[in-house]
Structure 1
Amino acid sequence: MLTSKIQKSIRQSYQNLQTQLDNFVPRRAQNYLVSEIAKTLCGQYHKSTRMIVAEAGTGIGKSLSYLMATIPVAVQNNRKVVISTATVALQEQLLNKDLPLFRRITDQNFSFIIAKGRQRYCCTEKLAVACGVDGGQMAMFETKPKAADIAQLQLMYEKLAQGKWDGDRDSWPKPIDDAIWQTIVSEKHSCNNSLPAHRGCPFSKARSELDKNDVIIANHSLVMADADLGGGVILPEPENTIFVFDEAHHLPHVARDHASASATLKGAGSWLERLNQSASKFSGLADEKRVGRFRNELQGAIQQLIPLLGEVNTYCTGLAFEEDSCRFENGELPSWLEEQAKVLKQYSQKGAQASAKIADLISERLKDGEIGAKIAEPALAELGFYIQRFDNLAAVWRLMAEPQKEKGAPLARWIEKSKEREGDHLVSVAP
């Protein structure tokens, strides 16, 4: 309900805005936008479907319009606000300009913060392993790391330990190469907040801060990721949140990219071989009576996957490439590759599930105090790296094996010659 208290708050903030901005000129379009958003959110047009799509030209003041309408409604109804954007530039504008300005002109008391996905933060344990602090360094890399890469990782570890870096990729003074970041990125399997050693990790610290704030700035990809998890896992619970999608015209391609997957063939075979060699080491840390089945499933899946991936890689050398890429028309695979995709889907899913189960069993023993953190944490970090890759491999072959739909657009499927490894191929799928 659009109460008199909310209306008064909105009017007061608009009046105060005139004193804050030099050469302020009232705009009818801005007033109309504020009014329509507030009415929609308060259920004046529809009690349950409280959605509005609004478009306005440059210079109208769209950001301030939705802030003036949304935040008073949210505060008065004890709800959170998530503002989702497509660009870093708009996030910075909201964080450093628009929200501080609105806080000065409103009578509402609110706090705000920027939210980032888990993959924007490093895992402390994985960073320690990758820079050689806890051993097992080579398992984290697909190819032998350069001395300069190790030096950078060691510097990052030192700055994190000294409290001079918060583990956020974006706050490191120089761009971090993707290949380096993938070795230390936080992921759900090994970076678990239920484990004592991870409660002070960069992502856990950032996540706890989100709960303390009323307005959260996010990007479209993070909102998609939270929705995939059921909602309320990374961001606040959807039923208690007002969502604002700014730059909403980017949503379709963000959704497409979010549902895409790609993996190499020879590269996957290499890390699978390393995982196979380490399977006994990992299972040795889990409950002996329960882990045997999952170790056998994991090694069985790997022993099937390695030759299958090799066969597909050999098959790819005979494809008709144009500029190092071969696209399958209408997403239709050759019959041989279609059959191989089904088998690869089966074994990659089985391997991903088995490796995740082994990690769960190690975590259980760690929580119960049956093994020490000094042994378990580096192993979980290393195993988490493999699980992340296994999940991605399973996603690729699940999409490659997905039957073509009678209606709607087909999946795009293509294979490229790898630029990183000679004789390797990259398999990609996208909606």
Structure 2
Amino acid sequence: MTNSKIQQSIRSSYQNLQSQLDNFVPRRAQNYLVAEITKTLCGEYHNKNRIIVAEAGTGIGKSLAYLMAVVPVAFLSQRKVVISTATVALQEQLINKDLPLFRRITDLNFSFLLAKGRQRYCCAEKLASAFGSEDGQQVALFETKPKRKDIELLETMHRSLEQGKWDGDRDSWPKSIDDKLWQLIVSDKHNCNNSMPSHRGCPFQKARSELDKADVIIANHSLVMADADLGGGVILPEPDNTIYVFDEAHHLPHVARDHSSAAASLKGVATWLERLNQSVTKFAALADEKRVSRFRNELQDSIQQLIPSLTQLASRFDPAQFQDGIYRFEHGDLPEWLANESKDLKTLSKKGAQATAKIADLIAERVKEGEIGARLAEPALAELGFYIQRMDNLAQVWQLMAEPPRDKGAPLARWLEINNEREG
């Protein structure tokens, strides 16, 4: 049965809403939605399966309805609330309008914030080294030599971050930031983490610290999917202690599809794999020699086999068979030779990705133990973090390409695309 304290909290909110809004008009559908959500979450319909799917027309006040029902239930059962949305517009409505309104009318003292993934934040240390290294190692990570305006932009961003005028969130920078430039300074789990003292003040770490304190969290569907992929409770609160609200749920199938997709360019792959090999050779000495040698050898072996295989792969397809620059595999079925090659590339790229990550972990471990200084290790971890992302992506592509045909359900969509604008 619904807890009397929950009922009292909802009634109090509703009465305050009536008194605060001059043109308040009771909405039967909104009241019904509040009641049904509350009864479902309190187990009146089913003790274990406390899930409700609700569809409501425009204008009934859906957001306020689920806030009035969900927050009291979560608050009084000591759980968190995650509201998952598909659009920025709804996130802004919740953060700037609905949640502030509900906080004014409720008797509950709760906090809320907007959660974003790690890749929406820059790493302060990467940013500091990138703008000051026009001829240095960070610049080697650019696909082409950086323009002066790029270096100046990085310097401006660094100054704004240092002065507290910018919070390191890509979305809050006044102008669009080029993807290639952002990849140089983006936060990554191997380099920008709390085990490194110099990174504890990085934008993502600050945001994550605030996230742990929040009672209600707004996130997009992709971030919720990413947390689920990691087992839950890694990015967002523990699922067992969370009530989820999926607003704009009709977008979920598309988000799930896009979230489980991957793409990689064959053009330039040999170049960046060679650069990775050089980076590992250069930085391996920062890790324990006895432990790192195995992973260095595994990575070099993977690279030596990946480069010729990936380089030759593109030449095995006749450009005349591409329609509008795209070669589609009908029903997702690959020719036998490519299916076999995909399995080999999956094994090699996964092995290389794991070895690269392990080398970075061994370097970070020595910093944590105080065996080497953070300043010495940070350039290595920043550079390796960049390549780890590329290797992980390559491994994901060949994981999907190597997946056998499905007996049931929709087939995997697989295709090749000619794009003359891409660098690598």
**TM-score bin, normalised by smaller chain:** over 0.9
1:18 CA drift (Å): 1.4
Residues 384 and 317 (structure 1), Cα distance of their counterparts in 2 relative to 1, 3 Å cut: farther
In the other structure, the counterpart of 1:355 is: 356
Separation in 1, partners of 2:159, 2:291: 38
Give yes or no for the alignment of 1:148 onto 2:149. Answer: yes
Give yes or no for the alignment of 1:311 onto 2:292. Answer: no
Give yes or no for the alignment of 1:241 onto 2:242. Answer: yes
**Is the deviation greater in 388-397 or in 311-320?**
311-320
1:3-82 equivalence runs, <5 A = 3-82=3-82
Secondary structure in 2 matching 1:242: strand
1:138 CA drift (Å): 2.5
Separation in 1, partners of 2:343, 2:130: 34
Give yes or no for the alignment of 1:232 onto 2:233. Answer: yes
Separation in 1, partners of 2:199, 2:153: 23
Separation in 2, partners of 1:47, 1:302: 54
The answer to whether the 8 Å contact 2:85/2:91 transfers is yes
Given residue 77 of structure 2, which amino acid in structure 1 is its aligned partner? N
1:339 CA drift (Å): 2.1
In the other structure, the counterpart of 1:296 is: 297
Residues 313 and 132 (structure 1), Cα distance of their counterparts in 2 relative to 1, 3 Å cut: farther
1:317 CA drift (Å): 4.7
1:268-279 equivalence runs, <5 A = 268-279=269-280
Separation in 1, partners of 2:268, 2:209: 37
Q: Unmatched 5+ residue regions in structure 1?
A: 425-431
The answer to whether the 8 Å contact 2:279/2:384 transfers is no
Secondary structure in 2 matching 1:211: helix
1:49-77 CA distances to partner (integer Å, 9 max, x unpaired)? 11100011111000000000011111111
Given residue 294 of structure 2, which amino acid in structure 1 is its aligned partner? R
Given residue 409 of structure 1, which amino acid in structure 2 is its aligned partner? A
1:190-213 CA distances to partner (integer Å, 9 max, x unpaired)? 222222121111111000001111
In the other structure, the counterpart of 1:264 is: 265
Separation in 2, partners of 1:266, 1:99: 47
The answer to whether the 8 Å contact 2:72/2:108 transfers is yes
Given residue 381 of structure 1, which amino acid in structure 2 is its aligned partner? A
Q: Unmatched 5+ residue regions in structure 2?
A: none
The answer to whether the 8 Å contact 1:319/1:326 transfers is no
The answer to whether the 8 Å contact 1:126/1:382 transfers is no
Residues 129 and 265 (structure 1), Cα distance of their counterparts in 2 relative to 1, 3 Å cut: farther
In the other structure, the counterpart of 2:139 is: 138
Give yes or no for the alignment of 1:106 onto 2:111. Answer: no
The answer to whether the 8 Å contact 2:86/2:221 transfers is yes
Residues 318 and 340 (structure 1), Cα distance of their counterparts in 2 relative to 1, 3 Å cut: farther
Residues 250 and 346 (structure 1), Cα distance of their counterparts in 2 relative to 1, 3 Å cut: same
Secondary structure in 2 matching 1:63: helix
1:179 CA drift (Å): 1.8
1:248-397 equivalence runs, <5 A = 248-318=249-319, 320-397=321-398
Separation in 2, partners of 1:191, 1:282: 17
Separation in 1, partners of 2:317, 2:188: 32
Runs of 4+ with >4 A deviation: none
1:32 CA drift (Å): 0.5
1:337 CA drift (Å): 2.0
The answer to whether the 8 Å contact 1:79/1:241 transfers is yes
Secondary structure in 1 matching 2:150: helix
The answer to whether the 8 Å contact 1:64/1:102 transfers is yes
Separation in 1, partners of 2:231, 2:188: 17
Secondary structure in 1 matching 2:47: coil
1:148-178 CA distances to partner (integer Å, 9 max, x unpaired)? 2222122112211222211100110111122
Separation in 2, partners of 1:154, 1:317: 46
Residues 383 and 319 (structure 1), Cα distance of their counterparts in 2 relative to 1, 3 Å cut: farther
The answer to whether the 8 Å contact 1:291/1:361 transfers is yes
Given residue 120 of structure 1, which amino acid in structure 2 is its aligned partner? R
Given residue 75 of structure 2, which amino acid in structure 1 is its aligned partner? V
The answer to whether the 8 Å contact 2:269/2:311 transfers is no
1:419 CA drift (Å): 3.4
Separation in 2, partners of 1:316, 1:158: 49
Among all aligned residue pairs of Structure 1 and Structure 2, give the percentage whose two residues are the same amino acid: 74
In the other structure, the counterpart of 2:215 is: 214
In the other structure, the counterpart of 1:83 is: 83
The answer to whether the 8 Å contact 1:266/1:309 transfers is no
1:57-101 CA distances to partner (integer Å, 9 max, x unpaired)? 111000000000011111111111111100000000000100110
Separation in 2, partners of 1:421, 1:119: 21
Separation in 2, partners of 1:236, 1:373: 30
1:388-416 CA distances to partner (integer Å, 9 max, x unpaired)? 10000000011111111111111100111
**Is the deviation greater in 256-265 or in 128-137?**
128-137
Separation in 1, partners of 2:320, 2:263: 18
The answer to whether the 8 Å contact 2:196/2:374 transfers is no
1:370 CA drift (Å): 1.2
Separation in 1, partners of 2:140, 2:315: 26
Separation in 2, partners of 1:76, 1:292: 54
Separation in 1, partners of 2:57, 2:269: 48
Separation in 2, partners of 1:128, 1:314: 41
1:388-427 equivalence runs, <5 A = 388-421=389-422
The answer to whether the 8 Å contact 1:129/1:136 transfers is no
**Is the deviation greater in 120-129 or in 68-77?**
120-129
1:346 CA drift (Å): 1.2
1:26 CA drift (Å): 0.4
1:345 CA drift (Å): 0.9
Given residue 114 of structure 1, which amino acid in structure 2 is its aligned partner? L
